[in-house]
Amino acid sequence: MIMKGDVKGAFRHLMLASGHVRWMAATIPELGVLIVDMSAPVGWTSSPAFYGAFGGAITWLVTILGPGAINEDNFSSWESSLQVLGLVFDIAARTVSMPREKIAKALVRVQSLAIQQHITRTQLQQLLGSLRHVCSCLRAAKPFYQRLHAASIRAPRYGRIAVENSMVCDLQWFTMILTHGRLQQLPLARFTDQQPIDVHLYMDASNSGLAVFNPATQQYIQVRFDEEEQARIHAASGSDGFNINVREHLCVALAAWIFGPEWASTPAKPMIFVRAWSDNTSAVAWTNRLSSSNPLAQVLNRAIGLAEAIFGFRISCGHLPGAINTMADAGSRAWTSPFSDTWSNLSSAWS
């Protein structure tokens, strides 16, 4: 049930993440019971008592005065599709969509601010108001939304702040999402973390190159780093530069764009869930959070998020010990012995 006429402002604080929303309701399948915490949506602890009073009054009217006491013309009809919280929910199709007029409005604001050198807090807040619906539809947008929100907090109440390069990159990313991304008829399944995995990828990177393979289709991606990339590897220091964490993260981004068209949403399969297995814990965290302090990793996160938005799949990353990831390890070092023989034997019939 969706209560369209309630206080709109209160629903801005409604918990949407699958890790939190489960606390708002429960079921007892054996008894056929559904439990809904009616105080959770607005955070008002007195709500259950008032809902009970209203329910009792309606019951009294029907019991004493009969069914004719309630004028059904004063009530809206039941609908399976309804615009609420700024989004269009289709209960029958189990989808959510961002209205086209909101997409157009957000795109105008993003493109306008992307070419400015200075910006005010008011402009940032207006922009955030338009982009919050994008974040509700696409989890990949949240890290970049948070960076713009941090900029609005830093901005003075009066006056302007300079538009930094990182802000311009985020605005360009949102432009691509709003222009080419899929924000209509999104399956509600994408908002949960409990969906079965459709595709498993295994990947690894080294100083020589990288490899990603899909054992189900016997397809693989293999890249050997050239002289320029080798120089960047040797110049990397600490957590900056083209270090091993970034190279492992690059595997995910390449897979998202090379295999992405094959995972594009169809009516028969509206959402493909992909799990990438890596032995690098940093790459796992960066992919799952789509957040990193490394500038190169931020670029890769934008690429992964854009691929998810355009092709309509969902990718997550899991940790796999390096001792088990034998084939990917050999593929990333296939230009030196003894890894060349191992890779040739394991991938002889692959493409």
pLDDT at 4: 47
Residue 149's nearest CA partner among 137, 135, 159 is 135
Residue 3 pLDDT class (50, 70, 90 cuts): very low
Residue 285 pLDDT class (50, 70, 90 cuts): very high
Residue 165 pLDDT class (50, 70, 90 cuts): confident
CA-CA distance, 82 to 75, in Å (whole number)? 15
pLDDT at 56: 81
Least confident residue range of 36-40, 186-190, 250-254, 288-292: 36-40
Residue 6's nearest CA partner among 42, 57, 30, 46 is 42
Shared-domain flag, residues 226 and 326: yes
Residue 274 pLDDT class (50, 70, 90 cuts): very high
The count of other CB atoms within 10 Å of the CB of residue 77 is: 5
CB 220 within 8 A of CB 346: no
Taking residues 47-60, what's their average pLDDT? 73
Taking residues 199-224, what's their average pLDDT? 93
Instruction: Return the higher-pLDDT residue of 74 and 11.
Output: 74
Assessment of whether the complete model's pTM goes beyond 0.85 = no
**274 inside domain:** yes
CA-CA distance, 69 to 83, in Å (whole number)? 30
CA-CA distance, 144 to 291, in Å (whole number)? 8
Q: pLDDT per residue over 143-159, tens digit each?
A: 778 788 888 888 888 88
Residue 337 pLDDT class (50, 70, 90 cuts): confident
pLDDT at 6: 47
Question: Is residue 178 packed enough to be buried (19+ CB in 10 Å), middle (13-18) or exposed (0-12)?
Answer: buried
Per-residue pLDDT at 35 exceeds 90: no
Q: For residue 248, what is the domain's CATH number? A: 3.30.420.10
Per-residue pLDDT at 20 exceeds 60: no
Residue that the structure tokens 């964490």 belong to: 245
Shared-domain flag, residues 37 and 139: no
Q: pLDDT per residue over 295-320, tens digit each?
A: 888 889 889 988 988 898 989 999 99
CA-CA distance, 199 to 215, in Å (whole number)? 9
Taking residues 16-30, what's their average pLDDT? 66
How does the average pLDDT of the chain come out, rounded?
83
Shared-domain flag, residues 34 and 134: no
Residue 17 pLDDT class (50, 70, 90 cuts): low
Residue 98's nearest CA partner among 145, 148, 136, 126 is 136
CB 347 within 8 A of CB 327: yes
Shared-domain flag, residues 102 and 160: yes
Instruction: Look up residue 287 and give its amino acid.
Output: T
How many residues does this entry show for the chain? 351
The helix (run of H) or strand (run of E) holding residue 205 is strand 199-205
Residue 256's nearest CA partner among 189, 208, 302 is 302
Shared-domain flag, residues 102 and 89: no
Domain's final residue, options 39, 74, 96? 96
Structure tokens at 234: 């040797």
Shared-domain flag, residues 72 and 214: no
CB 168 within 8 A of CB 100: no
Instruction: Look up residue 78 and give its amino acid.
Output: W
CB 228 within 8 A of CB 278: no
pLDDT at 150: 84
The count of other CB atoms within 10 Å of the CB of residue 334 is: 22
Shared-domain flag, residues 83 and 105: no
Taking residues 161-179, what's their average pLDDT? 88
Shared-domain flag, residues 290 and 199: yes
Q: Percent of the chain, pLDDT > 70? A: 86
Shared-domain flag, residues 247 and 321: yes
Angle at the Cα of 261 (from 260 to 266), degrees rounded to 5?
Answer: 110
Shared-domain flag, residues 306 and 216: yes
Per-residue pLDDT at 138 exceeds 70: yes
Number of domains in the chain: 3
pLDDT at 350: 83
Instruction: Return the higher-pLDDT residue of 73 and 121.
Output: 121
Residue 2 pLDDT class (50, 70, 90 cuts): very low
Shared-domain flag, residues 307 and 201: yes
Chain centroid offset of residue 83 CA: 21
**Conformation bin of residue 79: beta by default, left when phi > 0, alpha when psi is -120 to 50:** beta
Strand 25-28 with 33-36, pairing: antiparallel
pLDDT at 157: 85
Domain assignment of residue 73, given as a range: 9-96
